[in-house]
Amino acid sequence: MVELSIIILNYKTSDLTIACLKSIISKFNKELEFGRFEIIVADNGSKDASVESIKYYVSSIKYKNIKILENKENLGFAKGMNKASQNAKGKYLLFLNSDTEMLDKGLTDMIEFLDSNKKVAILGGKFMNKDGSLQPSCGKFYTLFNLFLMLIGTERLGFLRESPSIVKKVDWVSGGFMMVKRDIFKKLGCFDENFFMYMEDMDICYRAKKEGWDTYFFPRACVVHNGHGSSSRTFAIINIYKGILYFYKKHNSYWQYILARTLLTAKAITAIFFGFLTNNIYLKNTYKSVIRIEL
């Protein structure tokens, strides 16, 4: 029986994906050899040499339970992960960014924790930078007040995001290192594919909470997050803003959606203003795109 399916989405990051695979294999060679773990790599329509490179690496190792799936186009994170999860056999699913590398054998501890805590559906691991510093990877839902705090930059001060040193119940954890009970993932309807990338993790944790399930942060499992993935900063900001707007439209009343949109627009106008003052083309172009977002 497969206990854990590790799902990695590749988009023009074959070198990072192969490094990620190597780190998993170095820590969990026995689990892979005896079929306790499986790995699914889904290429999201890279249209470069990614698939060939990954296939060549996989062919050079002995494990038969590493699958490579090829999507014809870039489906985004949510849809790409959902499609890959349909091929998973594990009791648990681990959604893992391609630009991460395993530092320990904490996945087995995560499995034991989920086995022992029936009310916990989602478990997030710890992100670390190459220099050993921590990346906040769990936090609080974006209520209107929290959204305001995020937009004025207090997330960087640890008000909304954190990386606790203890196992702790939290609102949401990062989808880049997220373990989920597969049966609950299906009951929740998987990731919402209206999120192309970003905010889908907060959304599924929010839906899990509404259904009575808990989300926990688990610092005893750690990865290095290289932070050189497949998206640019401009792409990230635009899709985070889209995600927040869709999240509010989906889960909140109309007046809350309008107020959230007003807060986002005010932040964008401020950024554009500073862009003109400092002749910062990036600020001007990025936040003009944000203002034009339609749902």
Q: Domain ends where: 199, 225, 251?
A: 225
Domain co-membership, 203 together with 250: no
* CA 199 to chain CA centroid, nearest Å: 8
Mean pLDDT of 255-275: 95
Domain co-membership, 126 together with 255: no
pLDDT band at 229 (very low <50, low <70, confident <90, very high): low
206-233 CB burial, b ≥16 within 10 A, e <16: bbbbeeebbbbbbbebbbbbbeebbeee
Domain co-membership, 174 together with 260: no
pLDDT band at 233 (very low <50, low <70, confident <90, very high): confident
Domain co-membership, 218 together with 251: no
Q: Domain ends where: 197, 225, 253?
A: 225
Domain co-membership, 10 together with 95: yes
Name the residue among 192, 179, 175, 187 with its Cα closest to residue 247: 192
Q: Are 179 and 125 in contact (CB under 8 A)?
A: yes
Domain co-membership, 140 together with 220: yes
Distance, in Å, from the CA atom of 246 to the CA atom of 211, rounded to the nearest integer, reads 20
Whether 230 shows a pLDDT value over 60: the answer reads no
pLDDT band at 145 (very low <50, low <70, confident <90, very high): very high
Distance, in Å, from the CA atom of 125 to the CA atom of 237, rounded to the nearest integer, reads 24
Whether 175 shows a pLDDT value over 90: the answer reads yes
Q: Are 246 and 199 in contact (CB under 8 A)?
A: yes
Whether 218 shows a pLDDT value over 90: the answer reads yes
H runs (alpha helix) in 2-49: 14-27, 29-33
Tens-digit pLDDT profile for residues 41-90: 999 999 999 999 999 999 999 888 999 999 999 999 999 999 999 999 99
CATH of the domain at 99: 3.90.550.10
How many domains are contained in the chain?
2
- Enclosing domain of residue 259: 233-291
Whether 25 shows a pLDDT value over 60: the answer reads yes
Helix (H, G, I), strand (E, B), or coil: what is residue 249?
A: helix
The pLDDT score that the predictor gives to residue 155 is: 83
Name the residue among 227, 231, 232, 226 with its Cα closest to residue 23: 226
Domain co-membership, 112 together with 250: no
Domain co-membership, 216 together with 272: no
Domain co-membership, 187 together with 253: no
Which residue shows structure tokens 């170095």?
26
